[in-house]
Structure formats: structure tokens, C-alpha cells
Structure 1
Amino acid sequence: MQHDEVVESRSFDYVPQNARHGTVRHQLQFWFMVNATLITLFTGAVGPLYGLGLSWTLLALFLGSVFGTMFQAFHGAQGPKMGLPQMIQSRVQFGSRGSILPIAAATIVQFGFAIFYVQTGAAALVDVSVNQTAPFQIGLGVAAVVLAIVGYRMLLRVEKFASYIMLGNLVLLTVAAFAVLPLTSMLSEGSFAWVPFLAQFGAAATYQIAIAPIVSDYTRYLPANISGRAVSSAVFGGTLLSALWIESLGAVLATAFPETDVITAIRDMGNEFGFGLGSGTMVIAAGSCLITCSLSFYSGSVSFLSALEAFRPIKSTAALRSVTLVIAGIAVIIAALTLPADILGSFAAFLSILGYFLIPWTAVNLTDYYLVRKGVYSITDILRPDGGIYGRWSRAGLISYALGFAAMIPFFSTALYVGPVAAAMDKADLAFAVGLAVSSVSYLLLTRSTDFRAELDVVRRAALNTVGQHELQTSTIQH
């Protein structure tokens, strides 16, 4: 993206050094806002929904969020080093056309999240105004598309500004929870059971892993010489803080008001505290849903165009991005208008399904980057529709993905299907742990006999080539 662009033209392509900008602190604010939506409340309500005590729910939230955020944060360091969005990097592990499988899953996930952001934001506005859901859904969807079309620079500015408002709002809500609710007695009540504990742990972990396909979409704009550890720390700290904070509020509200929707509960608690806090929270929440919906549109369109470019060379332009986003926006708005009003039930089913598709991908991608090729890639070959040295199809990545996904099936536990192992464990869902382990180990074993010396020579030569008349930068990490 050039500095004088009003509407961003960049999507799946490389970000040259003269277009890089931003700091680690800005990334911390950015990722804090990614989870700062009412949907995150629902994730914290899973434990109480199954009868888990509040103290155990909070423990499961902490452990699950830390576990899931680690995988998400490791992707953050890839962006500055490679200058590419997240999913097109999958061409290294899966091939230019083999990567269509995880890219398609990521595209569906991002547009699926957009549907729920539109629904949830509209529900928040209905709570404090007229009972007319459809106009709010349409308005939020259109505004989110416009923001995504303008692009990353605008998204970064909006997220930075909104982070201060959201931080203040969360502090006030926390004070209200201590003032209005009997937290001490709530923490001492309730029992422990493995099934709801694992359900809450899995929901929190999967919610964080679900963000993994978009991380480099935004960290790729940082200068290449920035510390990868610092970037990962910013992603980790920002998303973990907002996730734990809001999920904990969701757990408290679901425990205190088991018969009330968590959105309504947080509004009522805030208003009982006074100063119109509940109603103000709804307005702020609608704004955060709008912003995060824009991110989903932005990353969803990047993933979609990455997949399309593998079959036909295309040039990323502002017009192409705009048309893609408008079409996606229309589809999302129609879906939001037609989905059932039971947002929590719909979201829980969606969360389970998306996690199953993303877990094998993140395992293969991170294993390759940190343990196999160790960050040494040819950007030129990644951007070739034929895959260059990585080919159109990569056996190791595809087999590892398939083995990981297949190994997860007996552990599935959803409203649509319960695997035999999950059924034997009272429907406890451990599929995410199995998928991560099997895909990672499979990929390590399948790449053990590969001689990467010839590939490394190609990577070094490719570093001297240009893309869009800008010198490419590749990692200097050695095997």
C-alpha cells in the first residue's frame, strides 16, 4: 500500500519495505480490540451453561486461552519477516493449489465470523433502542464493508482510538460487577466436573486458535527488522488480555443470570450500577462489532483472492478488492438476516466446526516455519501461481492435514455429530489437542528425508529478484 493511497489496493501480494510502518505498541492495541466484542462473552458462558462452578470456569478460561493464544501469537512473527498475508504462506506447506483447502476454510471462517458480528452488534443496538433488527444489521454490514475497502491504515487508526474507549468501558464494567453482584459467594459455589471443564477449556482455546489465519494479514505491514519475539508478544498480550477479561465477565454473568442472555445481562448489570453504563456499553459494543466485522471482511477477501490467484494470475487493485468486498458484504448481510435468533446456539456450533478445520492447518504451518524450513522461504516462488519450487501440490502438508483431521473425528463433540471416543468420555471434546499433535508429528516425519539444500540455493537467488520493482527480503535464519 502506497502512502498516498486513499483506498488500499494491496491484498494477497507482498508488502515492500517502503510501505512498512507501525510499532509493536500499535500492534498491542490492535490485537486487544480483535477480541473486544460481545461474541467473546459467549465463549465465557460455556462452562456455566454446562453447570460448571465459576471458579473452575475461570481456571478453564485461563488455561484454554493461554494455550490457544500461543499458537495464534507464533503466527505474528511471520508477517514482518515474509511481508505476506497469512494464508498465502500456506503455499509452502501445501502447494499453490493444495493450499486451497485451508484457504477455503479460512475464508468461510472469516465471513462466518462477520455474520455473527453483524448479528451481535445489531442485537446490542436493539437492546437500547427500537426493536428493528434488520435495519441495524444492514447498516452495520454496509459500514463494515466500507471500512474494509478503505483498508489497513484506516483499520489501524480506528482500532487504536477504539482501544482506549473499550479499556475504559471494561474497567467500569468490572467495577460494576464487584459492586452489583455477590462475587465472593459466587466463587465459592458450584462444583467441578471434567466434561464442562474440558468444554470450557476447548471453547477458549479454539476461539483463540480461530484468529490464527488472519494474524500476518496485519503484522506484515511492520518493518522487517522488527523483533519477531516482540511482535508475537504483542499479539499474545493484546488478544489474551481482552479475551480473558471479557470471557470472565461472560462467565460471571452466565453464573449470576443463568436464564438471561449474556448481552441482556451485561446491559442490566451496567444500568443497575448507574450512570447509564449498561446502555452505553451496548453502543460501544456495537461499534466494536462493526470494527471487528471489518477485519473479518478484510482478511476473508485476502484469503479468497489468494485462492483465486492460484488458478489465474491476477493483479491486486483497489477495484478488485472493492468488488470482492461488496459481494461478500451482500452475502453476509443476507445470511445475518436469515439465521435464527438464537445467536449463542448458532455460535457454539459454528465455533466447533471452524476449529476442526483450522487446527491441522496451524499445526502444519507453524511446524514448517519454526522447525522444518525455519523461516527460509522464497517469496518469489510463493507468489507464482504454479508454486515455483513448492509446486502446485505438496504431499507432506496435505497428508499431514488429512491425518490430523481424520484423527480428530472420533473426538468430535458437536450438536451435529459426537465421535465414539467423545461419547465414551461423556462428550468431552479433546479434538483440538489430537489434531495439533497428529498434524505436527506427521509433518515432521514426512519431511525428514527431504533435502532442503537445493531449495535453500533457490531461496538465496530469489532474494536478488524483485516483485513489483521492490527488493524482496527473506529470512537469514539457517538450518
Structure 2
Amino acid sequence: MEIIKVPEWGITPMPEKGRRLGGLDYFILWSSLGVGLLVLSAGSFLSQASFFDATIAIITGSVGGSILLALAGKIGSDHGITSLVSMRPSFGIRGSYLPAILNVMQLVGWTAFEIMIMGRAAALLSANVVPYPILAAVFGIVVALLGIAGPLAVARQWLGKFAVWIAYGTSIIIIGTLLMAPSTQHILSSPGKGMSFFTALDLVIAMPISWMPLVADYNRFAKRGRTTFWATLIGFALTNTLFYFGGVLLGTFDVLAIIVAMQQIFFGFLMLLLLVDEADNAFADLYSAAMSVQNIFPNLSQKHLIIGFTVLSTILASVVTLQDYETFLLLIGAIFVPLYGVVLTDYYLVRRQKYTEQMMFDNKRSIGWPAIAAWVLGTILNFVISPLSPLYVPSMPAIGATIPSLFAASLAYLIIHRLIRKPEAKLAT
């Protein structure tokens, strides 16, 4: 019954007694969250690019995306606040409700994908002796218990003492054997099927970007912000790079086909072990979905929210497929890249890392229209120039959608903020 007595920290700033995690804890946490079958599957999309373009995109996207991830996490560790609360100084309290709703939608989707993958992979590895619905329900119960246990217990007990070492060991063996496989030479010299470097970059950077609306929920437990920044950056960039690279080497677009391929190269047991670590990804999604709802309704119970989202995600896991997974990744980039272009600009450039509790919990600007306007502008730009757009022409020179929309949202916010500040300064004088 101890798990039921775990404290619910809520969305108020984390007290000192809750800030217990150090650099090693965060390296373990974020390197573990960079491991997963979904990352392998995302990496497999890059086999449509030349191997050279895919490799550069993987390194650039993993490092660049992890820097943005660590910068977003530092807001949480500096002030002990959740991800959605970190948006309030720029978007306003009520203005943060829309990002919260969109975040819940993407997190329920991620959890459904995770439960589906774990259940179907385990069913394949057991030769369907145990039916998929039962396995999906079992994995749902596991991730719900991890969510209720909370980040401190998961980081110190589940990951630090058990799951992460399985993830490291199986990852090294799998990637190493793929490099020595006979088909690797053909993949290394492959010219690809027309995917540009920038489209590949958008697909890589989408993974760390997808964690940005979650990162402060966990990094707020940090003892020191600077150490946590580097641990988050290095940990996630390392495993994200390895698993995208592994996906390129596999070169198959169906995660279940990946499982079959692994069975064919005697990795059935290793893949089963890897599923043990996959559960922490779903845990993170569930916990942050609950935190996002509490940004709007702070008095709701985390435990009840986690249980409810688990049930919903497990039901969705019986109907979702991975056919639209690439589109899902691009949509995440379209929404959250410009969003964090605004948030990071506000914190690091406009406010110079000086947020107050009044900005986060008593913000008279209940809706930050400059932030909303800059976000919408960046999102529209991202959509128009990405492969999601009906106006997209593959034969035209590509610059990708991630970098332009990030800088467009950031620049728009700076311009709008300055235009508003000038009249206010004149009135003050």
C-alpha cells in the first residue's frame, strides 16, 4: 500500500525537500527516455534519405533538439515548476490552457502507441500464447503504477537500480550486431529514395521536441539546475542518436516488422528485456498528462487522472496503428517547436531567467496575446512548408520546417513584445 501514500506534489513550486535528484539521476532518466521501439521506428523513416544525410540529420537533430530540451528543463529546475506553469509568464494563466489541452492529446496518443507496441511485441515474442488484449492490460497496469509512484521513485528505484541497465545492455548488443550484419554495407552506401536532409532533420528533432512539454515536470526535482541541464542534454542526445541510427540500419517502417527482424537475428529475448524499459516512456506520458490537466484544474487528484488516462490509452491501443506515425511526428513539431520558440525566448532573452511567483500564479494578463500570436504564426509557417501541407512540393529546394518556424515564432514574439513595451514606457514617463 506504500505506493498509494506517495505525495502528490501538484503544480506549486517544488519545496526544497522534494529536490533530491542529482546529475547522475537525470543522466539515467533522460538516457532511458531516449530508448524505445518508437525511436527505432522513427529512425527507420530516415532510410528514405541517403545514409550520409540521415547520419548528419541524426547527429544534428539529436544534439540540437536535446539542447532545446535541456533549456526547457532548466526553467523547471531553476524555479521548481512544471512545464505548463513555465508557459504562464508568456502565455498567461488562461493562455496556457490551450497548450495544456494539446499536450494531453499528444500524451494520450503516445501512451496508446507505447502500450500497443509493448503488447503486440510481447504477443509476437510469445508466439501469441497470451492474447494481445491481456498483455496490453498488463502493461497498462504497470505504467499506471509507475505513474502513481511518481518521478522520484521511478528515477531512483525503477530506473537507477533496474530498468536502465537492461536498456543499456540490450541497446549495445542490438546496435553492435546490426553494424556487423551483412546488409549493413548496402545501407551504408544507399543513395536513399529522395528524402531531403531537412525533412530527415525535422523527423529527428521531433523526438526531443515531443519531450519539451514534459521535461520540467521531472527536472523540477533537481538539486542543481546547471548540472541537470548537462545531464539531460548528454543523456537524451546519446540514446536518441543510437536508436535513430539503429532504425536506419534496420530500414523497415513497421515496428512489428522490427520485432520479427529481431527474432530472426536471435534477439527475441533481448527485445523482451527491452520492453521492460519501454514502460518508463509510457509512465512519463501519463504523469505529465495528469500535470497538464492540473494546470487547468489544480485540485483534481493525480492518481485518479493517471488511472483514467491509462484506461483511455489502453482502449485506444486496441485500435491505433503506426501507419500515420510519421505524420504524428511532423504534427508534434508543427505545434510544439514554435510554442517553445516563444517560451524559451521569453525566459532567456526577455525576462533574463527571472520569473517570479506572481508571473506564474497571479498573472493579471490571463491571456498573453503576444505569445499566442507568435505561436500561431510559427505554427502556420511550419505547416505550410512541411510535407504535411498540400502546397508542399518535394522537388523544390527544402529548408525543413523546424528551424524556420522556431526562429519565426521567436522573432515575432520579440518584435511584438518590443512594440507593446514602447507605448507602456512612454506612458510611464
Is the aligned partner of 1:401 residue 2:375?
A: yes
Q: Is 2:259 aligned against 1:263?
A: yes
Which residue number in structure 1 is paired with residue 215 of structure 2? Answer: 215
Residue identity in the other structure for 2:371? G
In 2, Cα distance between the equivalents of 1:28 and 1:162?
A: 14
Aligned equivalents of 1:246, 1:177: Cα separation in 2: 11
Residue 361 of structure 1 corresponds to 339
1:425 CA displacement? 4.1
User: Which TM-score applies when normalising by structure 1?
Assistant: 0.82
Aligned with 1:334: secondary structure? Answer: helix
Alignment of 1:325-344 (within 5 A): 325-340=306-321, 343=322
Q: Is the 8 A contact 1:413 1:427 kept in 2?
A: no
Q: Deviations over 1:382-424 (max 9, x none)?
A: 124xx34xx211121111111111222321323xxx342x226
- CA pair 8-284 structure 1, distance change in 2 beyond 3 A: farther
Helix, strand or coil at the partner of 2:101: helix
Match of 1:444 among 414, 422, 428: 414
Among 286, 289, 304, the residue aligned to 2:278: 289
More helix by share: 2
Cα distance in 1 for residues equivalent to 2:329 and 2:86: 24
Query: Could you tell me which residue of structure 2 aligns to residue 17 of structure 1?
Result: 16
Question: 1:332-365 CA distances to partner (integer Å, 9 max, x unpaired)?
Answer: 111111224xx2x232221122221111111000
Inter-CA distance 260–93: structure 2 relative to 1 (3 Å threshold): closer
Question: Alpha-carbon deviation of 1:28?
Answer: 0.5
Instruction: Name which of structure 1's ranges 62-71 and 25-34 shifts more when overlaid on structure 2.
Output: 62-71
The answer to whether 1:150 aligns with 2:149 is yes
Separation in 1, partners of 2:24, 2:221: 14
- The alignment partner of 1:337 has SS state of coil
Q: How many aligned residue pairs are there?
A: 419
Q: Partner amino acid for 1:300?
A: A
Shift of residue 451, structure 1, vs aligned partner = 5.3
Structure 1: any 5+ residue segments left out of the alignment? 272-277, 456-479
Q: Distance in 2 between matches of 1:62 and 1:19?
A: 35
Q: Does structure 1 retain, via aligned residues, the 8 Å contact 2:370–2:413?
A: yes
CA distance in 1: counterparts of 2:282 and 2:168, whole angstroms: 19
1:347 is aligned with what amino acid?
Y
Query: How far, CA to CA, are the matches of 1:44 and 1:407 in structure 2?
Result: 25
Aligned residue number for residue 112 of structure 2: 115
Cα shift at 1:195: 3.1
Show the 5 A alignment for 1:241-320. 241-254=238-251, 261-269=257-265, 271=266, 278-309=267-298, 314=299, 320=301
- SS of 1:357's equivalent in the other structure is helix
3-state DSSP of counterpart to 1:12: coil
Structure 1 range deviating more: 403-412 or 134-143:
403-412
Output the CA distance in 2 between the equivalents of 1:380 and 1:258.
48
- SS, match of residue 82 in structure 2: coil
Structure 2 Cα separation of the partners of residues 171 and 407 of structure 1: 39
User: What's 1:470 paired with?
Assistant: none
User: Is the deviation greater in 161-170 or in 363-372?
Assistant: 161-170
Residue of 233, 258, 265 corresponding to 2:230 = 233
The runs of 5 or more residues in structure 2 that have no matched partner are none
Amino acid at match of 1:334: I
Q: Provide, for residues 229-255 of structure 1, a one-character-per-residue CA deviation record: whole Å limited to 9, x for no partner.
A: x32211111111111111111110117
Out of 83, 86, 93, which is 1:96 matched to?
93
Give, in whole Å, the separation in 2 of the partners of 1:347 and 1:429.
Answer: 22
Query: Take 1:429 and 1:134, find their aligned partners in 2: how far apart are those partners?
Result: 43
Alpha-carbon separation, structure 2, partners of 1:425 and 1:91: 41
Task: Determine whether 1:433 maps to 2:411.
Answer: no
- In the TM superposition, residue 179 of structure 1 has moved relative to its aligned partner by 3.7
Query: Does the 8 A contact of 1:75 with 1:232 survive in 2?
Result: no
RMSD in angstroms over aligned alpha carbons? 2.6
Aligned equivalent of 2:173: 172
1:330 deviation in Å? 1.2
Distance 2:256 2:78 in 1: 47
Note if 1:71 corresponds to 2:68. Answer: yes
CA displacement at 1:167 relative to structure 2:
1.0
Residue pair 2:70, 2:232 contacting (<8 A) in 1 also: yes
Q: TM-score under structure 2 normalisation?
A: 0.91
Conservation of the 8 A alpha-carbon contact between 2:170 and 2:274:
no
